[in-house]
Structure formats: C-alpha cells, structure tokens
Amino acid sequence: MPARHLSHSTCKSLVGLPTAAALVVANMIGTGVFTSLGFQLKDFHSPFIIIMLWLLGGVFALCGALSYAELAGALPRSGGEYHFLGRIYHPALGFMAGMVSLVAGFSAPTALAAMAFGKYLQGIFPHIPPQGASLVLVTLVSVVHLVSIRMSGLFQTIVTIIKIALIATFLIMGFSLVQWEKPISFFPPPNAWQAIFSPAFAIALMFAMFSYSGWNAAVYIADEIQSPEKNVGKALLLGTAIVTVLYVLLNSVFLLTAPIPALEGQLDVGRIASKYLFGNFGGLLISGLICLSIVASVSAMTWAGPRVSAAMGTDHPPLHWLALRTSKGVPWLATVFQYALVVLLLLTTSFETVLIYAEFALVACCLLTSLGVIVLRHTQPDLPRPFQCWAYPLPPLLFCAISLLTLVYSAFKKPWESLASLTTLLILVIAYFPIHKFQVGTRAQRQ
C-alpha cells in the first residue's frame, strides 16, 4: 500500500455537505434513543416532561453545534478539539485533547457500539456469537474506510440514508397504527415547572444528552470537506436538527404505543414498543433497525477518529507515522492503529472501565472548546469568521453551563473516576512540554 504525507489542499473537494451531514446523523443515532426512555420514566410519567427532556437535549446539542460551527469556520482543519484547543489556548491543551480522543473519544465508544451490535444481532440470529459478530463488523468497516475517502463518503451516505428511511417508515407506521384513544396527554401537568427544575430532571436530561452525543463529528474530517469554513458548520447544524426531530418523534411513538408501566425502568423500550405495534415480529424489526444504526455509528467513528490521530502525527514528529496516507488520501496507519485498539478493547472487555474513567475528560474538552468561541472573539477579534454563532454569546454560555453541571454531577457520583480523569488530563498537559522540547532539539540538530 503506497503511503505518503497528504497536504491539506489534496484532501479538499472530496466530501460534500450531504455526506458531512450524514456523518453527523450517523454518529448521533446509536442505541441511546432506543434505551433511555425507560430510565427517564422512573422519575417522570408525564409525556410533556419526557418530550421536554428530548427537546432540551436537542437545544443543548444545537448550542454546541453553533459554537463548533463558528470555530470550524475560523479555524478550518481536521482534528476537532485537538486542533481547536491547541490554537485557542496552548498546544499542550490540544495535545491533551488529542490523546483523550485517541482512546476514549473514538476507540472505546466504537468497541462499545460493536459489542451492542453483537448482542442485538444475536437476538435476530441466536446461533451467531456476539463477540465474533463485533469483530467482523469493525474489520469490514475498517477495510471499507481504508479504500479511499470517496468510498468512505459513499458508504457513510448509503447506510445513513437507509437508516433514516427505516426510522421514517417506523414512525409513519407507528403513528398510523397507534390507538389515539390511549389515555395520555402531552399537555403540561400542574407541577410541570417544579419537575423541570428538580435534580431528578437534571439526571434524566443526562440520558438525553448521551443520546445526542456525536453532533460534532464533521469537525474531525474538516480537511476532507468541500469549503470547510462554510460546510462544516452547516453539516453540524443540519445533522443535529434532523436528529432532534427524529428523537422527539420516536419517543412520542414509544409513549403512544406501549403502557408507561411496561416501559418504566426497561432498557429495551424500542423492542417493547415495537412488540405492542407489530406483535412478536416487532422485536426482530427493532433489533434490525438498531443493528443498522450501530453499523452507521461504527462507520462514522472509524472515519473520524483516525483524522485526529493523523493531525497529531503531522504536528508531532514522534507520531509522524500516524500522518502517513495512501495515494487515495486515507490515513491508513492511523486507521489500522485505531482498529487495533478497538479489537484489543473488544477482546479484553476493559473498555467499559475506560468509558467511565474518560467521561469527565471528554466533557471537559468539549466545555473548553465551546468556551473557546468567547475567548477567540476577545483574543483575535479580526479573525475572519465565515459563520458567526447565532444569538452570541448565549449558545456557548448555555453549553458551558450545562457541561459544567455535568462535570459536577459526575464528580459527586463517581469521585474516584473523576479525580483519576482530572489527574490524567494534568499529566497529559505536563507531558507535552518534554515532548515539545525533544522536537525542538531534534529540529535544531538537523539544521
């Protein structure tokens, strides 16, 4: 496989706005929307409050998308938080974010999604071993993304279109078959505002926020998108808006079809609602839909993750091998490296610990990035901004406030994991300086 370093200009004009938006949609719609409702119903039985949770989750994601859209226009380059934090604050923070993304941002979530794929596929075909199915999935998807950037875009677009079409079909059939005389109301109950400002509402909102994660996917492949300074932001907003509408409609169908006591506390609410709609066939139907959703999500992370590694390889000579690309523009060693990490996590099943441990770090990186919109407006007011955040500064402030509350909640709920995560962030920041000193010394010797 011929390899070389690919320039920024060579990567351009390969992926259009529809494909970039498809990447965002695919990265967002995973298993969360089919599983979160049961936990939310443990505290709230009001359909109005449940729909408010999903609407607010969408608003939170849109605030993040608006913040990232401005940064993507002002600082167009692949790498996501690695690139943004390095440019806005200091390269040490960028290095920290890049290392976090390398393992926790992409490899561990890909492994988790692949494991879920194996379990759902076994529900359709009982004789297929889940771990084997997981390994086959990540292998085939990685091979597809090693072919070319155009192949990555084509595959991502096709699986996402099929996924949205199936979800739309499920929604149409759901609203057609639902018994509208069911005694539930989507109007606010008497204690609605008390419930919305309660601690239980904040916890339930976290389930929705988890389901919306992935709204920033397009920033990781900015170099491969046509006119990234304009289209990355559009892709983030378009993809997030589509997912928000789908999530609200899906949860409405779930609430209208199955009794609330049957859904309360259950993990597989999608299967339960489908069974009430379509009988025993409904369980197989929703399992197939979730499997396809997971394929699209695994594909999105397999495409986006290596671009962060490749950006780090370009900037840091000790990691230069991660930046090697094929003649078709694919960072092949970075892709193979992420594949190896995913397989290792699947075989050791240690990725669940990694996810819990890294939750704090991932949220912290997103918080700093969104805050960077405000920082950059003050430090570089004359920087060209093809896209400016709507209603500035409300979106970044709201996103930062909710992210900060999430960090505080995580610190109280998982103090040791949060402390370990914070310590790791500090170690990564400190580690940047000797690495940078080594790079400077190496360059001086060559000159």
Which residue bears the tokens 């962060």? 308
Sort 412 into a burial class: Cβ within 10 Å, 0-12 / 13-18 / 19+: exposed
pLDDT score for 5: 41
Question: What confidence tens digit (pLDDT) does each residue in 141-161 have?
Answer: 999 999 999 999 999 999 999
Q: Which amino acid is at 266?
A: Q
| 294 in Cβ contact with 60 (< 8 Å) | no
CA distance 150 to 158: 12
pLDDT score for 116: 85
Which residue bears the tokens 């919305």? 196
What SS3 state is found at 156?
helix
The helix (H) or strand (E) run that includes residue 19 is helix 17-28
Helix %, strand %, coil % of the chain (to 5): 80, 0, 20
Sort 16 into a burial class: Cβ within 10 Å, 0-12 / 13-18 / 19+: middle
Q: How far is CA 17 from CA 234, 236, 239, 335, in A?
A: 7, 10, 10, 23
pLDDT score for 299: 96
Q: How far is CA 245 from CA 39, 105, 239, 321, in A?
A: 21, 25, 10, 42
| 342 in Cβ contact with 111 (< 8 Å) | yes
CA distance 180 to 41: 20
pLDDT score for 233: 93
What SS3 state is found at 5?
strand
Which contacts of 426-431 are long-range, i.e. CB under 8 A and separated by 24 or more positions?
Answer: 428/95, 428/96, 428/99, 428/100, 429/92, 429/93, 429/95, 429/96, 431/95
The helix (H) or strand (E) run that includes residue 3 is strand 3-5
Closest of 113, 112, 80, 110 to residue 98, by C-alpha: 80
pLDDT score for 183: 65
Q: Which amino acid is at 243?
A: V
The two most distant CA atoms of the chain are separated, in Å, by 80
From the centroid of its chain, how far is CA 92? 24
CA distance 359 to 130: 25
| 247 in Cβ contact with 14 (< 8 Å) | no
Q: What angle do CA 76, 79, 84 make, to 5 degrees?
A: 65
What SS3 state is found at 326?
strand
pLDDT score for 9: 46
CA distance 31 to 28: 9
Q: Which residues does the chain have with pLDDT short of 70?
A: 1-13, 180-183, 185, 349-357, 440-447
pLDDT score for 4: 39
User: Helices 280-315 and 269-278 sit at what angle, rounded to 10 degrees?
Assistant: 150
Domains of the chain: 14-446 (1.20.1740.10)
pLDDT score for 193: 82
| 307 in Cβ contact with 79 (< 8 Å) | yes
pLDDT score for 182: 62
Alpha helices in 218-322 (DSSP H): 228-257, 260-263, 269-278, 280-315
Closest of 203, 297, 217, 293 to residue 250, by C-alpha: 293
Stated pTM of the model: 0.87
